[in-house]
């Protein structure tokens, strides 16, 4: 028993040291100026143009300026003080936060060492390690998507009692979609999963649909400011996605309108 405890503590120590060494390297890399293409022409440039013009304005020549920008809004604060390094740490913090979510989940389900291992595996994944040193928005989307999924898991584990975890899941999914359009896929799948698992676990189809609609409505309400902005500016709430479809609808509406 003593030997088992000693081995467990040794593994814990090694995991802590590995995580510390890895994060120290990431922090040092984040102290360098941003050189990533998308950071320079998009994630830092658009907020900077907003600051220069004193607020939001339409940048018609840049399709990417119509993307949802929850994470980019956070970059406004350091950019206001002419600091383009802090945004890299903000993005890194979302990766760290996702690692913590994984750690907490695995620690509660398995053990502390499994939580630390999950934390390390996530942060050391090549794509995550690369993104952690850039002023992008992907890790913000991953954080909110992960939080939404885990909130749903917690709601299911509690036998669907109470609404706080459902509401939190919907809010986080809305924030994820408001960070990057890629989260639309996660939104669709989690919405379908929610209806499927509730109906299977409780054998109640109608309430399952009701909760699915509730989740969808909450997420839509959170992300709606970006959709409304795009609709006002382009007539397409998810511009530039499905633009030909919305132009077709708009054209059909004009043709169908009676002549005065």
Distance CA 167, CA 216 (A): 10
- Please answer whether residues 127 and 172 qualify as being in contact, where contact means their C-beta atoms are separated by less than 8 angstroms: no
Domains in the chain: boundaries = 1-134, 137-238
Q: pTM of the entire structure?
A: 0.89
Q: What is the rounded end-to-end Cα distance, in angstroms, of the chain?
A: 89
CA distances from 254 to 25, 228, 248, 259 (A): 58, 21, 10, 10
**Tens-digit pLDDT string for the chain (260 aa):** 555 565 778 888 898 999 999 899 999 999 998 888 888 988 999 999 888 888 777 887 888 888 999 999 999 999 999 999 999 999 999 999 999 999 999 999 888 889 999 999 999 999 999 999 999 999 999 999 999 999 999 999 988 888 899 999 999 999 999 999 999 999 999 999 999 999 998 888 888 899 999 999 999 999 999 999 988 888 888 888 877 776 666 655 444 445 44
Cα(202)–Cα(170) distance, rounded to whole angstroms? 21
d(Cα 27, Cα 207) in Å, to the nearest integer? 47
- CA-based nearest residue to 190, from 211, 205, 206: 211
Alpha-carbon distance of 69 to 45, in angstroms, equals: 12
């Amino acid at each position: 028993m003593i030997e088992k405890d000693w081995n467990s503590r040794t593994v814990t120590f090694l995991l802590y040291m590995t995580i510390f060494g890895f994060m120290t390297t990431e922090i040092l890399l984040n102290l360098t100026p941003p050189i990533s293409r998308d950071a320079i022409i998009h994630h830092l440039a658009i907020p900077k143009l907003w600051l220069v013009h004193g607020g939001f304005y339409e940048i018609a020549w840049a399709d990417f300026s119509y993307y949802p920008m929850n994470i980019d809004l956070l970059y406004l604060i350091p950019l206001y003080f002419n600091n383009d390094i802090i945004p890299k740490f903000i993005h890194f913090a979302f990766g760290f936060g996702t690692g913590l979510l994984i750690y907490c989940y695995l620690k509660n389900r398995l053990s502390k060492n499994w939580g630390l291992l999950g934390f390390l595996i996530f942060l050391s994944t090549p794509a995550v390690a690369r993104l952690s040193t850039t002023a992008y928005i992907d890790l913000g989307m991953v954080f909110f998507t992960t939080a939404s999924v885990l909130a749903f898991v917690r709601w299911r584990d509690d036998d669907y009692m109470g609404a706080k975890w459902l509401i939190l899941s919907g809010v986080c999914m809305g924030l994820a979609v408001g960070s990057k359009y890629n989260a639309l896929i996660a939104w669709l799948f989690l919405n379908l999963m929610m209806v499927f698992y509730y109906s299977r676990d409780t054998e109640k189809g109608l309430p399952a649909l009701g909760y699915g609609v509730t989740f969808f409505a909450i997420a839509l309400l959170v992300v709606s400011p970006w959709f409304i902005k795009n609709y006002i500016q382009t007539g397409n709430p998810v511009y530039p996605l499905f633009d030909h479809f919305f132009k077709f609808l708009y054209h059909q509406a004009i043709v169908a309108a009676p002549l005065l």
